[in-house]
A and B are shown apart, each in its own frame.
Chain A
C-alpha cells in the first residue's frame, strides 16, 4: 500500500474537463453513466423481484459436517436404521387435574396423533405413540407369551377399555419412554425424512405444529414440542423479529452518517446504494439455489454495515472536492480515481476473512462464507462505482461541502488546535504512555490467554442453546428431560457384524457389555439395544419370570426375541445393530465423555466379529460437529492470520509494520475467547465464523491507520506528526466505521435467538476492540518498532518513489494536504 499526496486540479466547469482522462474502467462507467444508471435500475428491479422468492429455511444436513466419519456412518446407515437423526417429540400433557387414563385425554391424543401422522415429511412407518399399532405390550398368560398394541383394538372410551388400555400401558415397557412415570403425559414420536429432492419446509412444518398446539390446548391439554425441526421452526419465526433489528440498525446508522456528513442528500444516497447492494445479494440467492437460514440471515447486516462505512469514505472525498469548487461529476470521477482501488482492496481484505471460513466442512458455514463474499463483491460495484455515479447527478449540499473543507483546513493548521481526542491518542506516540499501553495489552493478553484456555467447544447449556433459556422451546424441553428417561439427546453407536450375524450370542454379549459401560457414565440416563431387549424377552418368553432376566446363552431364545424386536434395534439384513444412549444433556463435556467411554471400551475389548462405529442420534452428530469445530478453530485462525499477514506484508513491505498491524488483532482474538468463557458461550457452528469475521474486518482499521502513518513517516515526519495526519484523514473514518459496524451487529444482542445475540455481542466487542487497538496499540507499537523510519526514508522523494508520481508538496512542511489518497 502506498499513500500518495497526489492532487487533482479543481475544475468548476464541466467543459474544461477531459472526459477521456482516467482509466478505462472510469471512462466506461462515467462516460455512459446514464446507461449505467438505467441498467442498474433494471437489474435492481429484476433482482428485487427475484428477492421476493428467497426462502427462509434450515436443513438438518447442512448444519452437520458431512465428511466427518461419524456423519458418514450416519448417512451410510440412515436408510437402514431409521429415526436416528431428526425427529420431533410432541408431549401431550393431560389437563391439570387428570391423567392419561381418561376418555378425554385418549380422544385428544388420537386426534393429535392422526393430524400429525398426515403432516408432510413425517416418516410414518417409524412414528410412535400410544395410538400407533407398532407400540405394543408384552404379557404372559397361562398359554405363554402374548402381546398386542397398547391401545386396545376395540377401544371405545368405556371404563372397561380404559382399564384395558391402562393395563397395556403398565406392561408395555414404555414408561419413561413414551409415557411419563406419573402418567400425566405421553409422547408422540415423529421421525422426519429429509432427502435430496424433497426438502422439508421447517417453517411450514413448525407453523402446522403450532396450529395443532393452539387448537388442542384450547381443549385443556398442554402440548410440548421438541426436536431439531421445532428449533428451526422457532428460529425461522424469530427471523421476522430480526427485520426489526435491521430497521433499527438502518435508522441509527443513517443518523450517525448524517452527523458525520451533515448532508441529507448524500446520507440517503449512501443508505440507498447499500440497500441496492443487499437487494442484489438477496436477489441472487434464489438464482444460485441458496436459501437464507438462521445463520446466513446475519450476512445482510454485515454487508450493510460494511457498505455504509465504505460509502462514507467515498462521500468524504467527493465533499472535499466539491467544497474546493470542483464540479460534482468531476468530483465524483476524482473520488472514483482515488478510492476505487483502495476501497476494492479493503473489501477484498474482508473477503479474505470470509473466504477462510470455507475450509470448515460444515455446509451452513460455507454458505454463510459464500453469501458474505458475494455480498462484499456486490458492494465493490454498488458502493465504489454506482455511488459515485449517483453522486455525480445529485452532488452534495453546499453547506456540508464547505463544512467538510473547513474541518480539513482546520486540521492542517497548528497542532495547538488539535481536537481533544486526537490530543489524547497522540499521547501513545510517546515512549512512556506507549510502554504503558503495551504493558496493559500484555497483561490483558496473558490474562486473556489463560482464561481463554477454558473456552469450551460446543453447546454449554442444556436444551436448545440456539434459543434463550426462558423460551417456550426450552421450557418444553426441560419438561421432557425431567419426565422421561429417553430425553431428546440421543447418542447412537453402531455395531457392524457379518450379514445375518447381528443376533449371535457372542456379538450381543459385546453389545451388552458396551451398553453397561455406557450406563456407568453420569451423563447417560438410560440405554437401549437388542441385547437389552433379549434380556427382557428372555423373561417374557418364560411366562414373565424375572429369574430369566439375563442374556441367556441360548441362540434359539435370542432368535425368538429377534422376531419381535422393534425395527430400530437392527437392520433388515441383520448386519447392523444400534445401541442407543440417552444423555442428560448435549453439553460438549458430556459428548466428549460418551465418545471416550465408547473408544475406551473398543480399545479394551478387541472385538471378535463385531465392529463398533460412531455415531448417530442428535448427540452423536453434535459430537462430530464439535470435533470438526475444534480442529477448524485452530486451522481457521491459522488461515486467517496467514492471509492477513500476507496482505499486510504486501501493503507495508516492512515486517515491523506488519507486527504493528497484526499484534492488536491477536490481542482481540485472545480476548474474544476469554469473553466467551466469561459469557458462557462455546465455540460452535454459530460462533466460529465470528472469530474469522472479526479478524478479517479488523485488519481494515490497521490498514487505514498504519498506511497513512507509514507514508508520512517515510516522507520524514515524526511519528507524532505522521500519526496525527493519519488520524485526521483516516482515523475519523475508522471511528465512524467501528461505530457503524458495532451498532449494526450490536442490535443482534436483543434477538430472541440466543446464538444471534451471542454473535452480536462477540462481533460488537471485536469491532470496538479492534478500533481501540488500531487507535492506541498501533501508535504505541510503532513508537518502539518504527522509530527508524526516518533513516529508512530520509527524504520525501524516497517515499514517493514507491508511491504515485507527481509530488504535490514538500514533505518537510507537510501542512497543506488538499487531497490524500489511500492506495492499498
Chain B
C-alpha cells in the first residue's frame, strides 16, 4: 500500500491544513525540534542511520538527535550535544572541521569543530519564508505544477524529513528529502533556499541519496527516482531507471556506478548511468548502504544485517560477519577497518583479504 495516495485524498480534511506550519500541538508543549537531545547511555545501542569518517574521527547520527563520536576507530563512542531530538538521517563533512547533519522536521545542523558541537541552521518551521519565496518564483515563472507542490509543502507543515545532505565545498551544498524536497545553499548554510526547481516540476517522490561521483551529481530515491547533474548542480536531468523499484543509494568512482535499493536490487553501470546491468543477489533484504573499497570492489550492507562484497566482474557474495540488526551506513575508519551504523548501534569489522 502506498501511503501517499490516501494521504493526499484525506488532506483537505486534515487538521494539519488549519494553519500553515502549525502542527496541531498544545501550545505549551515542546516538540522534538525544540527539545535538545538527551544524553543517554542507550544512545550507543539505539538506531543510528549514518556514519562518516573525518580526520580520524567517526561521527554517527541517529534517532532522538543522537550524534555519537569515536576517536578510536569505532571502539568507543561518546555522545555530542545536539539542540534537537528528532531523528537525524544523514551526516556529511566538507572538511575536517565543517560538517552537516539533516533529519526529521526539516532540520539542518552544522558543526564547525569536527562534530563536538552542533548548531541549528534551519528547520521546517524556519523554511516557511523560503518556501513562500520559491512559491512566488514558481508562479512568476508560470510553473503551476511546481507551485502546487510548494503550496502543498506550506499547507502540510514541517513534517517532511530531510534524508541526505551533500556539500561540494565549504559553501555550496544540497539537502534532499521526502516528497521531492530539495534545499540548496551557496554560503555554507547561512541561508537555505528551496530548490525544487532543479528537478522536474511535479517530482514528488522521496529522495534518499545525493552523491557526487566523478564529476557528476546523482540523486536516487523512491520508485526509480534517478537524476544526474553534470554542471555542478545547476540543473538535474532525469536518468532512465532500469526498474521502478526504490533506490536507497548509489556508490562508485568516475563512470563505474553501483545502484542499490529495495529487496536486493543491485545494478551496475560502466558509463555513468547510461546503461545498467543487473547483478543477481539472493536476498529479500533491501540494500541500505554501500562503500567503495580501494582495490577490492564494493561493500554493501542490507536491512537484514547482512554484508556483501562485490569485486568487479564477479557476483556479490555474502560475508560471514554481519549484524543481527538492520544496517544503515558504512564508512572506512582511519585504521582501515570498516564501521557500520545500524538499528541497534554500530558494528566494527575488517573486510576479507585484509
Chain A positions within 8 Å of B, measured between CB atoms, are 139-145, 167, 170-171, 175, 181, 504-506, 509-510, 516, 519-520, 535, 541-557, 560, 606, 608-609
Contact = CB atoms under 8 A, between A and B. Distances in A.
A142 B1 contact: no
B16 interface: yes
Contact of B328 (A510, A541, A546): A546
Given A143-B1, A543-B246, 14 more contacts: A140-B263, A141-B263, A142-B245, A142-B262, A505-B25, A509-B25, A545-B248, A545-B286, A546-B303, A546-B343, A547-B163, A550-B103, A552-B159, A553-B157
Given A542-B3, A560-B6, A509 B31 contact: yes
Interface string B146-170: 0000000000111101010000000
A182 to B, nearest CB: 10
B140 interface: no
Interface string B38-66: 10111000010100000000000001100
Contacts of B208: 545, 547
B10 A548 contact: no
Nearest to A512: B32
B49 A547 contact: yes
A343 to B, nearest CB: 64
B28 A547 contact: no
Contacts, number: 123
B64 A516 contact: yes
B42 A549 contact: no
A505 B208 CA distance: 25
Contact of A547 (B1, B32, B161): B161
A213 B200 CA distance: 65
Contact of B3 (A142, A504, A557, A606): A557
B75 interface: no
Contact of A556 (B7, B23, B87): B7
Contact of A560 (B3, B14, B25, B248): B3
Nearest to A554: B159
B47 A546 contact: yes
A553 B159 contact: yes
Interface string B1-24: 111001100110011100000011
Interface residues on B, range: 35 or more
Contacts of B3: 144-145, 541-542, 556-557, 560
A557 B7 contact: yes
Contacts of A546: 47, 49, 288, 303, 326, 328, 343
- Closest 6 interchain pairs by CB? A608-B26, A550-B87, A553-B159, A547-B89, A554-B159, A550-B104
B324 interface: yes
B73 interface: no
A504 B24 contact: yes
A516 B244 contact: no
B324 A144 contact: no
Nearest to A139: B284
22 contacts: A142-B246, A144-B2, A145-B3, A170-B304, A171-B304, A175-B324, A506-B25, A541-B3, A542-B3, A544-B286, A544-B303, A546-B47, A546-B328, A547-B87, A547-B328, A548-B161, A550-B104, A553-B23, A553-B158, A556-B10, A560-B3, A608-B26
A519 B63 CA distance: 14
B212 interface: no
Contact of A555 (B16, B29, B87, B262): B16
A551 B64 CA distance: 10
B1 A145 contact: yes
B86 interface: yes
A608 B28 contact: yes
B189 interface: no
Contacts of B348: none
Given A519-B42, A544-B303, A550 B63 contact: yes
Interface of B: 1-3, 6-7, 10-11, 14-16, 23-26, 28-29, 31-32, 38, 40-42, 47, 49, 63-64, 86-87, 89-90, 103-105, 156-159, 161, 163, 206, 208, 222, 244-246, 248, 262-263, 284, 286, 288, 303-304, 324, 326, 328, 343
A551 B25 CA distance: 14
A609 B105 contact: no
A171 B285 CA distance: 10
Interface majority SS on B: helix, strand, loop or mixed? loop
A553 B26 contact: no
Nearest to A146: B1
Contact of A505 (B1, B23, B42): B23
Contacts of B1: 143-145, 541
A554 B156 CA distance: 8
B24 A506 contact: yes
**Which of A516, A556, A608: most chain B CB closer than 10 A?**
A556
A556 to B, nearest CB: 5
A549 B26 contact: no
**Which of A145, A516, A553: most chain B CB closer than 10 A?**
A553
B188 to A, nearest CB: 24
Contacts of B41: 520
A141 B261 CA distance: 11
Contacts of B157: 553
A550 B160 CA distance: 11
Nearest to B341: A546
A237 to B, nearest CB: 39
A713 to B, nearest CB: 69
A298 B16 CA distance: 64
B25 to A, nearest CB: 5
Contacts of A549: 47, 49, 63, 87, 343
Contact of B24 (A145, A542, A555, A560): A555
Given A520-B42, A541-B3, A547-B49, A555 B15 contact: yes
Nearest to A546: B328
A510 B32 CA distance: 10
Nearest to A557: B3
B339 to A, nearest CB: 17
A140 B286 contact: yes
A202 B181 CA distance: 60
A176 to B, nearest CB: 10
B159 A167 contact: no
A231 to B, nearest CB: 32
Nearest to A519: B42
Contacts of B15: 555
**Which of B26, B38, B206, B245: most chain A CB closer than 10 A?**
B26
A574 to B, nearest CB: 15
Contacts of A144: 1-3
A550 B86 contact: yes
A510 B42 CA distance: 19
A535 B104 CA distance: 12
A549 B50 CA distance: 13
A608 to B, nearest CB: 3
A551 B28 CA distance: 19
Contacts of B262: 140-142, 543-544
Contacts of A542: 3, 206
**Which of B87, B105, B303: most chain A CB closer than 10 A?**
B87
A511 B163 CA distance: 25
Nearest to A182: B324
B324 A181 contact: yes
Contacts of A171: 304
B222 A543 contact: yes
A795 to B, nearest CB: 80
A505 B6 contact: no
Contacts of B245: 142
Nearest to A552: B159
Nearest to A522: B41
A140 B157 CA distance: 27
A733 B342 CA distance: 75
Nearest to B10: A556
A78 B1 CA distance: 34
A132 B149 CA distance: 45
Contacts of A142: 244-246, 262-263
A107 to B, nearest CB: 25
